[in-house]
Amino acid sequence: MQVMPINYYIFLSVALFTIGIVGVLTRRNAIIIFMCIELMLNAVNVLLVAFSKMHHLNAFAADQLTTVGTEAQLFVFFIMVVAAAEVTVGLAIIVMLYRNIHSVDINFLNRLKH
Amino acid sequence: MNKFVFLIPLLPLLGFLINGLGRNYLGKSLVSIIGSGVLLASFALSVAAFNWVNAPGFKPEVIFYFDFIHTGGLRIPISFLIDQLSVLFLLIITGVGSLIHIYSAAYMHEEAAPHFARYFAYLNLFVFSMLLLVMGANFVVMFVGWEGVGLCSYLLIGYWFGNNEYNKAAKKAFVMNRIGDLGFLLAIFWMIGQFGSISYMEVFAKAPTASVAVITGITMLLFVGAMGKSAQIPLYTWLPDAMAGPTPVSALIHAATMVTAGIYMIARSNVLYTLAPASQDLVAIIGSATALFAATIALKQNDIKKVLAYSTVSQLGLMFLALGVGAYTSGVFHVMTHAFFKALLFLGAGSVIHAMHHEQDILKMGGLKSKLPITHLTFLIGCLAIVGIPPFAGFFSKDEILIAALQKNPVYYVLAVATSLMTTFYMFRLYFLTFGGNFRGTDHQWSHLHESPFAMTFPLIALAVLSVVGGWIGIPTLFMEDAHRLSNFLQPVIAPPSEVHHLEHSVEWMLLGAVLTLVLVAILLAARRYGKNFKVENTETGLSKLLANKWYVDELYDAIVVRPLDALGAFLGRVIDNRVVDGVVNGVGKAVQFGGRQLRLLQSGQVGSYVLLMVASLIAFLILQLFWKP
């Protein structure tokens, strides 16, 4: 069985993460920034699963019954759940924001200064 | 007996506590009974201790109480040494002290009750400290007493603290003593370093093993301490100013006991001084210089107490001369006789001041002979004793010092004789101006003149008797073989000077006769000048002006020490404190404020810039983590 080398996953993950960072830094729309954050989270998730699978395959070759390396695959689900919860809160905030100032442009949001 | 020795200093301490704490509740008569009572009890115990020591077969005894400091290899116990020297001082302190306490009860009767009790409390505390000083078996206990008497001296000079001049005098005494105390303290440290112990016995036993240079250093530092306490050049100017205190205080502290502490210290460490000839020379030179210098100043003073104060400084100088030429016994002998006649003179002066309603200027006195017969007679005895007319006490002790000085170096002898002659002149000037001639005060004062009450005349009479007979315990071999009982008594503590070539008796008789003749001439001169036909002349010129102004030493010290120090203080206050210290403190505050103002600009409220900063710093940390190797 031909296994895809780990490097590809890493490149993908770094690309996603960089897109996320650049998006957060450059965009002004709160929803897009939010999406970029999700992108970064999921870049990490990809990496987590890829490394997990790699370790598991290595251990599996020695022992068929091993569960080594499967924890991270479970862990990813937790991250997804937490991310989902976070998305609801975040979207709720953005909705409230829009109701108040009729805009989702973060440059108008400088009240943290006070 | 050794079980009761601790009571000797403890009783005055009790008196201090009772009088000090109960000053607002106790009546004046009760205070004076307690104050004098504890001293009399102490005196009785001292007499018992003296008998114990004087008994044949007595060996000096160290009585240990408890450890004061016990650290590493160093052990400093609170322990008392009872031997011939300390017992002699015990008798002087408690004996003269008791008389002065009794005298004080009458002298101070005008004071309000709390202040009266305060006075007695201080006086008792002084006696306690002084007893500690002479009874201690090591230099640290001596130092504790030494500081205690300094404190009491300060408190009592400034007793009338309402007068700012008196406070200044008290401060001056304290600060000058401090300079000396530093020397003493350094000597103690050096002894600890050198011998690992400060007990007399051990230090004296180990002293010959140390090099002469070390012993010389230690003894010179000890002498610096003695200079301060015993008012020697250059630290003597506090003593005349100390006359601001009540007269009995001057008699007790600044004539009879405290100022002789320096003599006691050197006599106690005679083993060390004998090993250090250079220090002995220094002591002798300073002593003779002080004796002469103070005597010249006393010639022209018009304050009755100032004359006596300078006379005290001069007599202390003579004692140091005796110590310096190795005649320790003579020095101690003169301490004793001086305690009698100088206390007598001061108390007599107090009686005069009391009668004159606090007038101290002798130019405004005169003719008091008829009104104050007892004071007059006892004062005359005191004068005769101090100038050294046989058979009064001063004659024997002073003669001994003169002879000892001559054996060492004729220059000392000449200086000492000159001092004696001046002493004679100024003492009889004082006597004739006060008691002889016509009264120069107001009629009001004359009509109120009265002899002092019995409580004041009794100590005068007792001290007058002592001033007559006190010298008879030290009759020189010139008159009678082996009659110097004091010398025999002190033999175990003070080794006699090893090889002195004794003078021929004929020479001694001749010198004695010559000195006595000169003294009589000086008395006659004083009588002619200040007796019947004395007129007050207001203009002082030339040398007499210099003397009347005390050689301008106070002004000199003021110019070379006090004012530069003041200027330095002002400079430090103005520049270092105001600019540098305040600058640093204010600068820190300003820097923080400024930094805060600048950093505030970072908080723009722009979420984008926050995120940018966050990312930038994360990257910075990452780079730091990866590439920075400490």
**How many CB atoms neighbour CB A18 within 10 A?**
13
Instruction: Name the residue facing A24 among B603, B606, B611 (closest C-beta).
Output: B611
Task: Residue A114: list chain B partners with CB under 8 A.
Answer: 605
The pLDDT of residue B500 is 58
- Nearest 5°: the CA angle A63, A69, A71 is 130
CA distance B609 to chain A (A): 8
Q: Which residues pair with B474 in a beta bridge?
A: B484
Predicted local confidence at residue B485, as pLDDT: 79
Assigned token pair, B578: 């105001």
Segment B325-347 shows an average pLDDT of 90
Task: Identify whether B505 is part of a domain.
Answer: yes
Predicted pLDDT at B483: 66
% of chain B at pLDDT higher than 90: 40
Give the span between the Cα atoms of B321 and B319, in whole angstroms: 5
Residue B498's pLDDT is what?
A: 54
B377 and B524 share a domain? yes
| Contact residues, chain A, for B607 at CB < 8 Å | 106, 109, 112
**Residue B563 and residue B534 in one domain:** no
B572, B533: one domain: no
- Does residue B62 belong to any structural domain of this protein? no
**Which two tokens mark A19?**
């897109």
Does one domain contain both B616 and B487?
Answer: no
Distance of CA B376 to the CA centre of its chain: 27
In a domain, A98, yes or no: yes
pLDDT of the residue at B489: 82
- Helix-, strand-, coil-residue percentages of chain A, each rounded to 5: 80, 0, 20
Summarize pLDDT for B565-576 with one digit per residue, the tens: 999 999 999 998
Q: Tell me the average pLDDT across B249-265.
A: 89
The amino acid that residue B508 corresponds to is E
CA distance B127 to B463: 18
Q: pLDDT at position B61, please?
A: 86
Nearest residue in chain A measured CA to CA from B609: A25
Residue A85 lies in domain? 6-113
> In the numeric block, which tokens belong to residue B7?
């009571």
Q: Is the pLDDT of residue B13 over 90?
A: yes
Q: Is A109 on the interface with B (CB under 8 A)?
A: yes
Whether B605 and A109 lie within 8 Å, measured CB to CB: yes
Q: Rounded distance, CA B526 to CA B516, Å? A: 15
The length of chain A, given as a count of residues: 114
Task: Using alpha carbons, select from B470, B446, B428 the residue that is nearest to residue B371.
Answer: B446
Q: Which residues of B touch A111 (CB under 8 A)?
A: 605
Read off the DSSP letter of residue B67: E
* Pairwise CA distance, residues B82 & B52, whole Å: 10
Looking at residues B255-274, what average pLDDT do you find? 89
Regarding whether B313 and B452 lie in a shared domain, the answer is yes
- The answer to whether residue B38 sits within a structural domain is no
Which residues, other chains included, contact B574 with Cβ-Cβ below 8 Å and sequence gap of 6+? none
A106 chain-B contacts, CB cut-off 8 A: 606-608
- B209 three-state secondary structure: helix
Instruction: Name the domain boundary from B539, B569, B592.
Output: B539
Band (pLDDT 50/70/90 cuts) for residue A114 is low
Q: How confident is the model at residue B583 (pLDDT cuts 50, 70, 90)?
A: very high
The confidence band for B122, taking pLDDT boundaries of 50, 70 and 90, is very high
Distance from C-alpha of A73 to C-alpha of B222, rounded to nearest angstrom: 88
B375 in any annotated domain? yes
Calpha distance B618→B93 (Å, rounded): 84
Contacts of A107 in chain B (CB under 8 A): 606, 608
Quick one: B341 and B464 in the same domain?
yes
If asked whether residues B314 and B368 sit together in one domain, one would say yes
Question: Would you call B608 an interface residue with chain A, using a CB distance cutoff of 8 Å?
Answer: yes
Q: Residue A95 falls within a domain, yes or no?
A: yes
Specify if B182 maps to a domain.
no
Q: Which amino acid is at B95?
A: G
Q: In Å, how far is B590's CA from the nearest CA of chain A?
A: 24
Residues B592 and B524 in one domain: no
Is the Cα dihedral B271, B274, B275, B278 positive or negative?
A: positive
B570 and B521 in one domain? no
- Indicate whether B211 belongs to any domain: no
Q: Which residues contact B122 (CB under 8 A, 6 or more apart)?
A: B16, B152, B155, B156, B159
DSSP string, B351-393: HHHHHTTS--BGGG---TTTT-HHHHHHHHHHHHHHHT-TTSH
- Name the residue among A52, A98, A99 with its Cα closest to residue A74: A52
pTM for the full predicted model: 0.79
Cα(B35)–Cα(B124) distance, rounded to whole angstroms?
7
The total number of structural domains that make up chain B:
2
Dist CA A7 CA A67 (whole Å): 24
Question: Per mean pLDDT, which range of B151-160, B214-223, B607-616 is the poorest?
Answer: B607-616
> Which residue, chain included where needed, has tokens 């002290």?
B97
Q: What is the mean pLDDT of chain A?
A: 88
A40 lies in a domain? yes
Q: What dihedral angle (degrees, nearest 10) is formed by the CA atoms of B509, B514, B519, B523? A: 120
pLDDT digits (tens, 9 = 90+) for B64-121: 888 888 888 888 899 999 988 999 999 999 999 999 999 999 888 888 888 999 999 9
Identify the pLDDT of residue B496.
65
Specify the residue for token string 């101290």.
Answer: B360
Q: Among B539, B566, B597, identify where a domain stops.
A: B539
Is there a domain that residue B241 lies in?
no
Which residue, B153, B317, B304, B323, is CA-closest to B236?
A: B317
Q: Judging by beta carbons within 10 Å of its beta carbon (0-12, 13-18, 19+), is residue B596 exposed, middle or buried?
A: exposed
- Mean pLDDT along residues B244-255: 88
Q: What does the pLDDT read at residue B538?
A: 65
Q: Does A94 touch chain B (CB under 8 A)?
A: no
Sole residue written with tokens 């003073």: B301
In a domain, A1, yes or no: no
pLDDT of A54-73, one tens digit each?
888 888 888 888 888 888 88
What is the count of structural domains for chain A? 1
B598 and chain A in contact, CB less than 8 A: no
B344 shares a domain with B448: yes
Residue B438 in contact with partner chain A when CB distance is under 8 A: no
Alpha helices in B470-502 (DSSP H): 485-490
Regarding whether B570 and B496 lie in a shared domain, the answer is: no
Both tokens assigned to B178: 């401090």
Instruction: Indicate if the pLDDT at residue B499 is higher than 60.
Output: no
> Is the residue at B588 inside a domain?
yes
Please count the CA atoms within 13 angstroms of the CA of B97 that sit on its side-chain side. Answer: 34
Chain B touched by A74 (CB under 8 Å): no
For B129, half-sphere exposure in the C-beta direction (CA atoms, 13 angstrom radius) is: 22
* Phi, psi of B65, rounded to the nearest 5 degrees: -110, -65
* pLDDT tens digits, B447-497: 888 888 888 889 999 999 999 888 888 877 777 766 677 887 887 787 666
Range of the domain at B454: 303-539
The answer on pLDDT for B429 being more than 70 is: yes
Mutate to test the interface with B, among A32, A36, A101, A113 (most CBs of B within 10 A): A113
Return the pLDDT at B509.
85
* Whether A28 contacts chain B with CB within 8 A: yes
**Is the four-CA dihedral B179, B184, B187, B189 of positive or negative sign?**
negative
The single-letter code of the amino acid at B263 is I
Identify the closest residue of chain A to B614 by CA–CA distance. Answer: A25
3-state SS class at B2 = coil
Are both B454 and B398 inside the same structural domain? yes
The two three-digit tokens of residue B254, written as one number? 């600044």
The CATH code of the domain that includes A91 is 1.10.287.3510
Radius of gyration of chain A (CA): 19
pLDDT in tens, B45-56: 999 999 988 888
Pick from B306, B461, B265: which is nearest to B382 by CA? Answer: B461
Mean per-residue pLDDT of chain B: 88
Report how far residue B376's alpha carbon sits from residue B137's, in angstroms, rounded to the nearest whole number.
42
DSSP H helices, B572-629, are 582-600, 607-627
Instruction: Let me know: does B505 contact B429? Beta carbons within 8 Å.
Output: no
Distance from CA of B598 to the nearest CA of A (A): 15
* β-bridge mates for residue B361, sequence order: B303
Whether A24 has its CB under 8 Å from any CB of chain B: the answer is: yes
